[in-house]
Amino acid sequence: MKSCLGSRSPNVVSILFCVQLFVCGCGVDRVRIYEVPRARVQSSLKRIQQNSIDPKPESMVPDQVLEPGERKLTWTLPDDWKQNLGSGMKLADISPVNDSEVKISIVALSGNGGGLLSNLNRWRGQLGIQPVTTKELESDQIDFFFCSVGQVRLFKLFADSSEGQGFLIGVISLKSQTIFVKLSGPSERLVDYKDKMTSMLKSFRRVK
């Protein structure tokens, strides 16, 4: 063999250099345009709760989307309750038409929302109750069930005094966020509203 790359050798090096520069230039300021099917959520949990609640037509769906292409989250209002849509992380405020002291607020936080324990202890603090540890956390949990979007845990936090305030808190854990549904008001009346709260939590679902 006379020479490795013969008389073409200078060109080969130039070509290699040009290729390198060209490829280095690729990928800068890219705009990709494509179409994807809207995400399909086929949770196994969905099957469990498919016929648990007959959804009523939504009058209002909060302006929120979890993932691009994913469907909006909504719920069914209890009878004779009214809803005000929120802004930012607060999705909505809901209260009975004839009871202004009781209110449900629905808040969506990304990830685990700062942790269940820290949130529950914060609410315990608001009610003047001592914080709990992870092991004691379960003592506050009064119910556990599924809605069509995921698992729901229901917690009861009541102030120690007989006329104190209390919270019933539903926690729905989704893939990328956590929904906190907090029913607040006088403890005595919250007991009466528990079933309505549970029905509402079970009605959480996604709509187009």
Partner 1 sequence: MKAMLKKIGDPRIFVACCSWLIALLILGTIAQKYIGLYMAQEKYFSSWFFEWRNIPLPGGRLVLSVVFLNLSAFLSVHRWSLKKAGIFITHIGALLLLLGGFLTAHFSTEGSVVLEEGNSSNFVSDYHLLEIAIIDQSHESNDRVYAFSQDFLVEGKLLAHQEFPFAITIDRVFRNCSVLKRESTSDVTLKGMAKNFELVEEVLNKQHEQNRWGVRIQVTGVNAEINGSYILFEEMPVEHSFEVAGKPYLITLRRERRYLPFDIHLIDFQRVLHPGTGVAKSYHSDVYLVGKGRNEEKRKVRIEMNQPLREGGYTFYQASFSQSHGAEVSILAAVSNYGRLFPYISSLIMCLGLLIHLAMLIPTFLRRRRIQC
Q: In the complex with partner 1, which residue's Cβ is closer, 9 or 161?
A: 9
Indicate the residue among 27 and 54 with the shorter CB distance to partner 1. 27
At a CB cut-off of 8 Å and minimum separation 6, what does 9 contact? 3
Cβ closest to partner 1, residue 25 vs residue 97: 25
CB atoms within 10 A of CB 62: 19
Residues that bind partner 1 (CB under 8 A): 1-5, 9-10, 12-13, 16-17, 20, 23-24, 26-38, 40-45, 63-65, 68-69, 87-89, 91, 108-112, 150-151, 173-177
Taking the complex as a whole, the smallest distance from the CB of residue 193 to partner 1 amounts, in Å, to: 25
Minimum distance, C-beta of residue 97 to partner 1, in the bound complex (Å): 27
> Residue 118 CB, nearest distance to partner 1 (Å)?
14
Sequence-ordered list of residues with C-beta below 8 angstroms from that of 155, at least 6 positions apart, any chain: 120, 140, 141, 142, 167, 168, 169, 170, 171
The residue among 52 and 110 lying less far from partner 1, judged by its C-beta, is: 110
Element (H, E) at 89: none
The distance of closest approach from Cβ of residue 188 to partner 1 in the complex, given in angstroms and rounded to an integer, is 31
Buried b (16+ CB within 10 A) or exposed e, 135-165: eeeeebeeeeebbbbbebbbbbbbbeeeeeb
The count of other CB atoms within 10 Å of the CB of residue 205 is 20
CB of 163 to partner 1, least distance (A): 32
